[in-house]
Structures are given as structure tokens and as C-alpha cells.
Chains A and B, each alone.
Chain A
Amino acid sequence: MSFLTVASATLKKDVRLEWRSKDAINAMLFFSLLVVVIFSFAFDPTAEESRRIAGGLVWVAFLFAAVVALNQTWARELRNQVLDAYRVSPAPANPLFLAKAVGNFIFVVVLEALMTPLFIMFYKLRALGPGWELVPIALLGTWALVVNGTFFAAISIRTRAREIMLPLLLFPLSIPALLAMVNATTSILTGEESARFWIALLVAYDVVFTTACLLLFETVLEAE
């Protein structure tokens, strides 16, 4: 089976499942909505303060929300031994991984697109820097979280206390990516510095960790 056949079949299946059940996206939406509302009550920030804290707030909310989608990535395949069937099939491992990662990427980007207007509304946000740069930051940052998250979710299904294991693995490793996303967002909102360095860091992070995931995924898939 070719790389593209396997990848597109898996991706289509995952998107269709999510489209019909809407389990992950609903949970993620409601979770990040709660974060928005609770923090806006807790701080009640002025527009100036918002610019300083919103970057951190937005990304922490998305990071926690993304865990919902990431956790169900492989857990779903354990039921009815789907993953075992995949392992004994002649299909290569990497397209499966890439399809899962792209699927999660789509879910989290949809979540971000839906939540961003709410963040702008509740926190009275207006970018003083070049606002369009937020788009590549969001895309690169989301990929950074999702590619490692998909990989570690495959590790965490091999442990006790699966659901809690994923954040324990993902968060320490995501510190540089998170720092880059938060600082890039804050630089653009406040318009004080250029976000170029942080964007370059995110690109490097994405390239290095995507490569590492693809090289090591087969080992993790085989580790029953």
C-alpha cells in the first residue's frame, strides 16, 4: 500500500468519525470557553493588561484543550484491537502517524478559529504589531503541540493511568515551543518587539521534532 493511500484513508476515517460524533471538538470548545470566562472574571483586565497576559492565556487554554483530542487519538484504536490489526498489516507505520497528527492539527485549528473571536471580545484585544503574523504563529505552534502530542499519546496508551500520562510527557517537552508561542503572540499584541526570532525557533522546533517522530514512531507502535 502506498504512503498516500494509507494516510488519506486514515485521515478521512478520523475526520468522518469526529464529524459525526463531535466528541472531541465539543469538549475542547466548552473547556476553552470556561477558561476564557473564568479568567475574565478573575482578572477583569483593562485593554493594556490584556495585551500582556492574553498570549499566555490563549496558548495555555489551547494546550490543555488539545490534550482532549490527543488522548482519544490512539485510545479509540485500542477498542476491537484495531491497532493490533494495523500492526500485523503490511501498511507502513509513518503514514498512520502523519494522518493522526494532521487530523489532530485540523481539530485544534478549527477550535482556535472558533475561539479567537471570543478571546478578542472578552479581553478587548487589538494587535499593535503586525497582526497577520499571528496566523503563521498559530499554525506552527499548533503543529508543534500536535506532532509531539500525537507521538506521546501513542506512548501513553502503553502505561497505567493513560489519560493523565499524556500531559506529564507532553508539557515538559513543550516548554520551549510554548515559550516561543506565548512570547511571539505577546510581542505582536503589544507591538514592542519583533516576533521573527520566535517564529524561526518554532520552525526549527517543528522540523526537528517532526523528523524525530517519524524516525521513532515504528518503535513506539510495536511496543505493546
Chain B
Amino acid sequence: MKRGFSILAIITALLLSFALYEALVAAPTERTMGDVQRIFYYHVPSAWTALLLFLINFVSSIVYFIRKSAKADILALVSAEVGVVFCTVVLVTGPIWAKPVWGIWWDPADIRLNSTLALWLIYISYLILRKFSTSSKTASIAAAWAVFGALDVPFVFFSIWFFRTQHPSPVIAQGGSLDPAMGRVLLINWAAFLCLAWLVCWTRYRLEVLKREVEEAQALESLHEVSR
């Protein structure tokens, strides 16, 4: 397992450097937006990765309900944490791109940015709940909350979508086609980001397992001391 981890780490490093070169040098410059458009190679893969991680969080929460396995619980926690990080990248890079292109930092009627913000808030509150819980069944409570969060996603999407149809939006590029060279760079970047996410989740997973083992050992030790 340790060997697999090192191999993944090396692959991630190589892929990330290659993706960086592809995004900043090899990819063609966009005609109207210029170099600012290159942020797209970080923005979009981060969004896809975050969505995937939130999906993993939802699935592992459901698995936890069925099997009550600690592994599923840890996976749910880890995917939410890493997902929030990637989601933050999306929310930071979005306005940086929007300011020169739309002329504003934030458009309250843009569907993707606002849905992402709502998702971010939901999963932050999931992490706060886990942190503040004093229950002996934190895993069950958190899994219940994750189900609520996932159920909320379509509502968030539709409400903002309809909100947008009422309010004119400054989005110019809608449904445009992507240059194949750009699409390739996008996919390379996504692959690199997925490896990175996998690596971070793996590390965090091992850390959480160790943390729980230590807690268990300490609890046992104090029990022995009391009985002595």
C-alpha cells in the first residue's frame, strides 16, 4: 500500500507539471478574452472534481446507513473536506475570471457560480456539524445531514435557474463550441486534479484511521488504569 501511494504521488507530480505547461504555454490563446481565459483550465477541473467528491460523500453516506461501516463514514468525511477545498478554488477563480470578462466580480443571477456557492455553504455546514457534534453517533447524524444536502442540490439549481430567467444576465459566451486543442488541455488538467484529489483523500483517510486508532487505544488505556 505504501508503494502504491508513492507511485500515485510521483504520477500526480508529473501530471501536474505537464498540465501546468499545457495550460500556460501549449494551449492556444483565446481570441476575445486573451490570457485570462487560461484560468478556465483550473476553474472547470476543480468544479468537476468538487462535484465528484460531493457525489462520493453522498454515496458513502448512503452506504453508511446500510452497512454502518466505519470505512464509509471516514470516506464521507474525507470527500467532503477535500471537496470543500476544490469548491473554494472554483469560487476564488470564478470572480477573478469574471471581473475582466463580465466587468463584475459576481453576478447574482449566474446559475453555476451561485449553485456552487450554495453547495459550498451546505458542505461547510456539514463539516461544522461533524466538528461540533457531541453525540456518540456523529456518523449517523452526519450521514442524515449529507442526504439532506444532496436532496437540496436540484432545488438550488432550479431556483437559481428560474431566478436567472427573470433577471437579465451579463453572460456573453453561452453554448459556444470548444476548440479541440483547448478540450485536450482541459482533460489533461482534469486528470491531474483528479490524481491530486485522490492523493490528498488517501493521505487524509490514513490520518483519520490512525486518529481513531489512537483515540481507541487511549480510551482502553484509561479503562485499564481505572480498573487497576
Q: Mark B85-129, 1 if CB is under 8 A from A, else 0.
A: 000000000000000000000000000000000100110110011
- For A193, the closest partner residue in chain B by CB is B166
- The answer to the question of B18 belonging to the interface, with a C-beta cut-off of 8 Å to chain A, is no
Q: Which residues of B contact A220 (CB under 8 A)?
A: 140-141, 144
Count, A-B residue pairs, CB within 8 A: 96
A173–B148 CB distance below 8 A? yes
B135–A212 CB distance below 8 A? no
- Which residues of chain B from 42 to 99 have a CB within 8 Å of any chain A CB? 65
Q: Which residues of A contact B166 (CB under 8 A)?
A: 183, 193
- The answer to the question of A20 belonging to the interface, with a C-beta cut-off of 8 Å to chain B, is no
- The answer to the question of A60 belonging to the interface, with a C-beta cut-off of 8 Å to chain B, is no
- The answer to the question of A82 belonging to the interface, with a C-beta cut-off of 8 Å to chain B, is no
A205–B137 CB distance below 8 A? no
| Interface size of A as a range | 20 to 34
Instruction: Give Cα A220 to B137, complex, Å.
Output: 9
B132–A160 CB distance below 8 A? yes
- The answer to the question of B207 belonging to the interface, with a C-beta cut-off of 8 Å to chain A, is no
- The answer to the question of B5 belonging to the interface, with a C-beta cut-off of 8 Å to chain A, is no
Given A159-B132, A160-B134, A223-B140, A176-B158 contact (CB < 8 Å): yes
Binding site for B on A (CB under 8 A): 148, 151, 155, 158-161, 165, 168-169, 171-173, 175-177, 179-180, 183, 193, 197-198, 201, 204-205, 208-209, 212, 216, 219-220, 222-224
Binding site for A on B (CB under 8 A): 65, 118, 121-122, 124-125, 128-129, 132-138, 140-141, 143-145, 147-149, 151-152, 155-156, 158-160, 162-163, 166
User: Mind listing 29 A-B residue pairs with CB under 8 Å?
Assistant: A148-B148, A155-B141, A155-B144, A155-B145, A160-B132, A169-B145, A172-B118, A172-B121, A172-B125, A173-B148, A173-B152, A175-B118, A175-B159, A176-B156, A179-B159, A179-B160, A179-B163, A201-B155, A204-B155, A209-B151, A212-B147, A216-B148, A219-B65, A219-B141, A219-B143, A220-B141, A223-B138, A224-B135, A224-B137
